[in-house]
Amino acid sequence: MSNSDRAKQFLPFDALNGFQLALREKEKIIVDKKELSEEMKEELSKKLNSLEIGDKVKIVHYKNKQYKIDVGRFNQINRIQRFIVIENNKISIDNILKICDL
């Protein structure tokens, strides 16, 4: 049996809807959201207040039981609904762990 023929026998498994996605979800490491100290909250607040539209930033934030990093240009802050927009990504202020300039 050639390698090509052997590979074909596994093709039906790729046809299972959501199978690959389910495998990737199983591989994710779930972490708890960190509670910020008062010092960290104050530092984050100062950083948010100093941001200007167009600033390039890196933001570490909690989403879907993981910490993610978004890099891009700061576009908007909404203090009433408590979110910021980096490029086209809307990020909850309450989920931000750290903001770094680039």
Q: Is residue 27 part of a domain?
A: no
Q: Are 30 and 66 in contact (CB under 8 A)?
A: yes
Q: Is residue 95 part of a domain?
A: yes
* Residue-wise DSSP of 25-57: HHHPPP-PPPPPPHHHHHHHHHHHHH--TT-EE
Q: Are 89 and 72 in contact (CB under 8 A)?
A: yes
Q: Is residue 42 part of a domain?
A: yes
Could you tell me the pTM of the whole model?
A: 0.72
Q: Is residue 67 part of a domain?
A: yes
Q: Is residue 21 part of a domain?
A: no
Which domain range does residue 40 map to?
A: 32-101
Handedness of CA 49, 52, 53, 57 (dihedral sign): negative
How many structural domains are present in the chain?
A: 1
Look at residue 2 in the predicted model and tell me its pLDDT.
Answer: 63
Query: 69 — phi, psi (to 5°)?
Result: -120, 125
Q: Is residue 62 part of a domain?
A: yes
Give the pLDDT confidence of 80-93 residue by residue, as tens digits. 999 999 998 999 99
Q: Is residue 4 part of a domain?
A: no
Domain of 97: which CATH number? 2.30.30
Confidence of residue 57 (pLDDT cuts 50, 70, 90): very high
